[in-house]
């Protein structure tokens, strides 16, 4: 397979920090023209994955490539724009000065006005970075990522510090970028965000890829709600019920992850006369990831 | 391409520092104020090492000023950019790392040149310093190029120290080293013990190299250049170690 067409790829990447293994041999590829979300809770290894891809850190095993090349060489990063989670952007340069400097790193940058327009920074060109609001600062980070007109964007938690309005504005900017035929890899800990902008989701948990698929598939498996109940049905028959995601048993109590709790409960009342509903709750994020872990583990059991 | 990026990087670095009073005022004003007080008010036209105090101290306070530009411009700015993650953004971009380093060296040299020119102007105008044109030039050249090894030492501090401790560490290195090397008070006027310690300090060699251009120094210029080169290599090696060590840290 011609890897020079693949904007970003991690192949069998393992990274250890002392006794902690941040990534356990993960394989992730960003394909041309797609928006891929790396979804996972804090500490899942998302940032380590991004930093490996950008050549900031060197994997202990496996390889990271950008368009088939070693990202640790500066010129091999010229087709990629990056947005990282950082605090310390120099405060005494203006927005235009920052953008012009980063534009100079790329062979064919966008015109300054075009970058400022895409990033929603028109009218702020002469403002010192230190005088910007939080949302405006994030837009500068986005502007620095796109100013070189790169073929691929790599965004580490691009909306984590933003209010709802700024978050939606940034989503629109990312969608606009993809509409130009570019590829985007972003990390997020928010399933709703991944669902809103990504065509494909890779779920990282504990440094491993535990699930991947379209947003709809991942949502279905992670479940929006947890139905706690008792039932005489076995796992196989429960799983046959439309809308049932992962199943976990704790003594006599069964926990079912689902997108459609009402439909599942209705179906179970019909199927199982011994069915007792205990409660239905919104699945907390951590638990949704755990649900995915369980699904993965059960899939690994040979049939 | 690299030359163009280095130029853009240098311009941006200069702009950034010029707008930062916390950098500009100490690096420019302190050497000038010290020179005005110790050399012109206190020393004046009295003689030392075959020249006047005002002329002699042009070399030593020139060295003091140059070292400050390099240690603060380099050491503190690298420590801050490294500690707050800005260096990561640069490293994730296609900027060649050499452009970052060279731009910071050039920026330190521009500020060093400004300090030296201001000191020379003050010395000529108020201290009665009179030199041959060629002597002015060699003094200027020795001092400004002398910034380079201190850029390497600044980079070492910036690569090893945290963003909050770096300014304190720079001061702890800079001020005692300058005093013990005779950059504030001529080494001839200090206790003899200091004279034994001084050759182990890079600042001593820059001071003597600059004094040598006025025929007022000890030792051969080649030996001072060699000593400064050793310090530069040691600084670069320590910086390389510090930056490699960063890779193992996650910074959240």
pLDDT of B249: 61
Least CB–CB distance from A56: residue in B15, B80, B88: B88
Q: Is A85 on the interface with B (CB under 8 A)?
A: yes
- Residue B35 tokens read as 């020179």
pLDDT of A80: 96
Find the mean pLDDT for residues A218-240: 84
Interfacial A residues in 175-194 facing B (CB < 8 Å): none
In B, which residues are within 8 Å of A80 by CB distance?
A: 94
- High-pLDDT (> 70) share of chain A, %: 91
Q: Which residues pair with B52 in a beta bridge?
A: B47
Sheet holding A244-250, edge to edge: A244-250, A253-258, A225-230, A276-282
Least CB–CB distance from B85: residue in A22, A86, A105: A86
Could you tell me the pLDDT band of residue B86, with boundaries at 50, 70 and 90?
A: very high
Q: What is the DSSP string of B209-242?
A: HHHHTTT--SS-HHHHHHHHHHHHHHHHHHHHHH
In B, which residues are within 8 Å of A141 by CB distance?
A: 89
pLDDT of B160: 92
pLDDT of A302: 37
Residue A149 vs residues A120, A182, B11, B163: alpha-carbon distances, Å: 16, 9, 23, 33
What whole-number distance in Å separates Cα of residue A89 and Cα of residue B86?
A: 6
pLDDT of A82: 96
Residue A188 has pLDDT above 60, yes or no: yes
SS3 A200: strand
Q: Which residues pair with A81 in a beta bridge?
A: A153
What whole-number distance in Å separates Cα of residue B58 and Cα of residue B138?
A: 13
Nearest chain B alpha carbon to A53: B92
- Residue B76 tokens read as 């503190």
Query: How do A35-39 and A200-205 pair as beta strands?
Result: parallel
pLDDT of A286: 59
pLDDT digits (tens, 9 = 90+) for B11-57: 999 999 999 888 898 899 999 999 999 998 887 678 888 889 999 99
In A, which residues are within 8 Å of B20 by CB distance?
A: 92
The reply to whether residue A90 touches residue B81, judged by beta carbons under 8 angstroms, is yes
Q: What is the DSSP string of chain A?
A: --GGG-SEEEEEEEEEETTEEEEEEEEEEEPTT-EEEEE--TTSSHHHHHHHHTTSS--SEEEEEETTB-TTSGGGGTTEEEE---S---TTSBHHHHHHHHHTTSSSPPPHHHHHHHTT-TT-TTSBGGGS-HHHHHHHHHHHHHTT--SEEEESSTTTT--HHHHHHHHHHHHHHHHTT-EEEEEES-HHHHHHH-SEEEEEETTEEEEEEEHHHHHHHH-SEEEEEE-S--HHHHHTSTTEEEEEEETTEEEEEES-HHHHHHHHHHH-TT-EEEEEEEPPHHHHHHHHHHHHHHHHS--
Q: CA of B134, closest CA in chain A: separation in Å?
A: 38
Taking only Cα atoms into account, the Rg of chain B, rounded to an integer number of angstroms, comes to: 18
Residue A1 has pLDDT above 60, yes or no: no
Interfacial B residues in 218-247 facing A (CB < 8 Å): 247
Residue B23's CB: how many other CB atoms inside 10 A?
Answer: 20
Query: Largest Cα–Cα distance of chain A, in whole Å?
Result: 71
The reply to whether residue B92 touches residue A55, judged by beta carbons under 8 angstroms, is yes
Residue B92 has pLDDT above 50, yes or no: yes
pLDDT of A299: 44
Q: Is A107 on the interface with B (CB under 8 A)?
A: yes
Range of weakest confidence among A118-127, B78-87, B119-128: B78-87
Residue B13 vs residues A90, A101, A106, A111, B60: alpha-carbon distances, Å: 10, 10, 19, 22, 27
Residue B7 vs residues B2, B25, B104, B181: alpha-carbon distances, Å: 9, 25, 11, 35
In B, which residues are within 8 Å of A88 by CB distance?
A: 80-81, 83-86, 163
- High-pLDDT (> 90) share of chain B, %: 74
Q: Is the Cβ–Cβ distance between B121 and B90 less than 8 Å?
A: no
pLDDT digits (tens, 9 = 90+) for A101-141: 999 999 999 999 999 999 999 999 999 999 999 889 999 99
Range of weakest confidence among A158-167, B87-96, B173-182: A158-167
Q: CA of B101, closest CA in chain A: separation in Å?
A: 14
A252 or B178, higher pLDDT? B178
Interfacial B residues in 10-49 facing A (CB < 8 Å): 12, 15-17, 19-20
Inter-chain contacts counted by CB atoms under 8 A, chains A and B: 91
Q: CA of B104, closest CA in chain A: separation in Å?
A: 14
pLDDT digits (tens, 9 = 90+) for A128-176: 999 999 889 999 999 999 999 999 999 999 988 788 888 999 999 999 8
Q: Choose among A25, A79, A15, A75: nearest CA to A51.
A: A15
Find the mean pLDDT for residues B81-104: 92
What whole-number distance in Å separates Cα of residue A269 and Cα of residue B222?
A: 94
The reply to whether residue B16 touches residue A17, judged by beta carbons under 8 angstroms, is no
What are φ and ψ of residue B23, in 5° steps?
A: -95, -50
Least CB–CB distance from A89: residue in B4, B5, B86: B86
Find the mean pLDDT for residues A47-69: 95
pLDDT of A195: 85
Q: Is B84 on the interface with A (CB under 8 A)?
A: yes
Size of chain B in residues: 252
Query: Largest Cα–Cα distance of chain B, in whole Å?
Result: 59
The reply to whether residue B20 touches residue A92, judged by beta carbons under 8 angstroms, is yes
The reply to whether residue A105 touches residue B5, judged by beta carbons under 8 angstroms, is yes
In B, which residues are within 8 Å of A22 by CB distance?
A: 250
- High-pLDDT (> 70) share of chain B, %: 98
Residue B101's CB: how many other CB atoms inside 10 A?
Answer: 19
In B, which residues are within 8 Å of A148 by CB distance?
A: 94
Find the mean pLDDT for residues B164-182: 93
What whole-number distance in Å separates Cα of residue B111 and Cα of residue B99?
A: 18
Classify the phi-psi angles of A206: left when phi > 0, otherwise alpha if psi is within -120 to 50, otherwise beta.
Answer: left
What whole-number distance in Å separates Cα of residue A28 and Cα of residue A34?
A: 13
What whole-number distance in Å separates Cα of residue B136 and Cα of residue B124?
A: 11
Q: CA of A70, closest CA in chain B: separation in Å?
A: 12
pLDDT of A217: 79
Least CB–CB distance from A88: residue in B1, B85, B247: B85
The reply to whether residue B247 touches residue A107, judged by beta carbons under 8 angstroms, is no
What are φ and ψ of residue A301, in 5° steps?
A: -70, 125
pLDDT of A124: 96
SS3 A245: strand
Nearest chain A alpha carbon to B96: A74
pLDDT of A166: 87
pLDDT digits (tens, 9 = 90+) for A2-51: 688 999 999 999 999 888 999 999 999 999 999 999 998 888 999 999 99
A56 membership: H or E segment, kind and range: none
Helix pair angle (A285-300, A215-222), 10° resolution: 100
Label residue A87 exposed, middle or buried (CB < 10 Å: 0-12, 13-18, 19+): exposed
Interfacial A residues in 35-74 facing B (CB < 8 Å): 47-48, 51, 54-58, 74
pLDDT of A50: 95
| Contacts of residue A301, Cβ cutoff 8 Å, sequence gap at least 6 | none
pLDDT of B252: 34
pLDDT digits (tens, 9 = 90+) for A251-302: 889 999 888 888 999 999 999 999 998 888 876 655 666 666 665 544 443 3
| Contacts of residue A19, Cβ cutoff 8 Å, sequence gap at least 6 | none
Least CB–CB distance from A106: residue in B12, B94, B249: B94
pLDDT of A223: 66
In B, which residues are within 8 Å of A84 by CB distance?
A: 85, 88-89, 92
What whole-number distance in Å separates Cα of residue B131 and Cα of residue B214?
A: 9
Q: CA of A61, closest CA in chain B: separation in Å?
A: 15
Size of chain A in residues: 303
A160 or A55, higher pLDDT? A55
pLDDT of A196: 87
Instruction: Tell me, rounded to whole angstroms, the distance of Cα A24 from its chain centroid.
Output: 18
Least CB–CB distance from B85: residue in A58, A87, A104: A87
Q: CA of A262, closest CA in chain B: separation in Å?
A: 40
- Residue A33 tokens read as 């023209």
Q: Choose among B46, B78, B56: nearest CA to B182.
A: B56
């Amino acid at each position: 397979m011609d890897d020079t067409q693949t904007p970003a790829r991690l192949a069998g990447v393992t990274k250890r920090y002392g006794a902690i293994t941040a990534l356990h041999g993960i394989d992730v590829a960003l394909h041309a023209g797609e928006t891929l979300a790396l979804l996972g809770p804090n500490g899942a290894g998302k940032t380590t994955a991004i930093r490996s891809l950008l050549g900031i850190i060197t994997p202990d095993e496996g390889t990271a490539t950008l368009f088939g090349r070693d990202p640790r060489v500066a010129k091999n990063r010229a087709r990629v724009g990056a947005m990282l989670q950082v605090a310390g952007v120099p405060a005494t340069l203006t927005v235009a000065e920052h953008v012009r400097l980063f534009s100079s790193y790329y062979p064919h940058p966008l015109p300054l006005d075009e970058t400022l327009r895409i990033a929603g920074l028109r009218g702020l060109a002469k403002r010192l970075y230190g005088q910007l609001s939080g949302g405006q600062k994030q837009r500068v980070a986005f502007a620095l990522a796109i100013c070189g007109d790169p073929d691929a964007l790599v965004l580490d938690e691009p909306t984590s510090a933003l209010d709802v309005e700024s978050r939606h504005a940034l989503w629109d900017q990312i969608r606009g970028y993809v509409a130009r035929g570019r590829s985007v890899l972003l990390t997020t800990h928010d399933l709703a965000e991944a669902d809103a902008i990504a065509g494909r989701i890779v779920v990282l948990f504990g440094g491993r890829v535990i699930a991947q698929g379209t947003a709809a598939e991942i949502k279905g498996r992670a479940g929006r709600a947890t139905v706690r109940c008792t039932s005489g049905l076995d796992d196989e028959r429960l799983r046959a019920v439309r809308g049932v995601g992962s199943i976990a048993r704790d003594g006599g109590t069964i926990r079912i992850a689902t997108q459609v709790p009402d439909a599942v409960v209705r179906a179970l009342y019909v199927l199982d006369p011994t069915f007792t509903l205990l409660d239905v709750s919104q699945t907390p994020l951590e638990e949704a990831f755990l649900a995915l872990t369980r699904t993965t583990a059960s899939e690994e059991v040979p049939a | 391409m690299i030359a163009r990026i280095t130029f853009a990087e240098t311009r941006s670095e200069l702009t950034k520092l010029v707008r930062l009073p916390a950098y500009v005022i100490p690096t420019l004003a302190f050497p000038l104020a010290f020179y005005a007080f110790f050399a012109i008010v206190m020393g004046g036209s009295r003689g030392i090492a075959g020249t006047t105090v005002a002329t002699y101290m042009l070399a030593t306070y020139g060295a003091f000023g140059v070292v400050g530009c390099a240690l603060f411009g380099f050491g503190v700015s690298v420590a801050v950019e490294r500690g707050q993650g800005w260096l990561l953004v640069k490293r994730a971009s296609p900027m060649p790392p050499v452009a970052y380093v060279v731009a910071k060296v050039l920026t330190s040299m521009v500020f060093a040149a400004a300090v030296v020119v201001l000191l020379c102007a003050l010395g000529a105008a108020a201290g009665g310093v009179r030199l041959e044109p060629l002597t002015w030039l060699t003094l200027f050249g020795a001092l400004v190029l002398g910034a380079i090894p201190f850029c390497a030492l600044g980079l070492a501090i910036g690569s090893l120290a945290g963003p909050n401790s770096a300014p304190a560490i720079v001061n702890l290195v800079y001020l005692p080293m300058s005093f013990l090397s005779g950059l504030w008070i001529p080494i001839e006027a200090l206790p003899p013990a200091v004279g034994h310690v001084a050759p182990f300090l890079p600042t001593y060699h820059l001071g003597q190299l600059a004094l040598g251009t006025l025929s007022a120094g000890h030792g051969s210029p080649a030996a001072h250049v060699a000593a400064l080169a050793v310090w530069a290599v040691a600084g670069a090696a320590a910086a390389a170690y510090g930056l490699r060590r960063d890779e193992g840290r996650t910074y959240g």
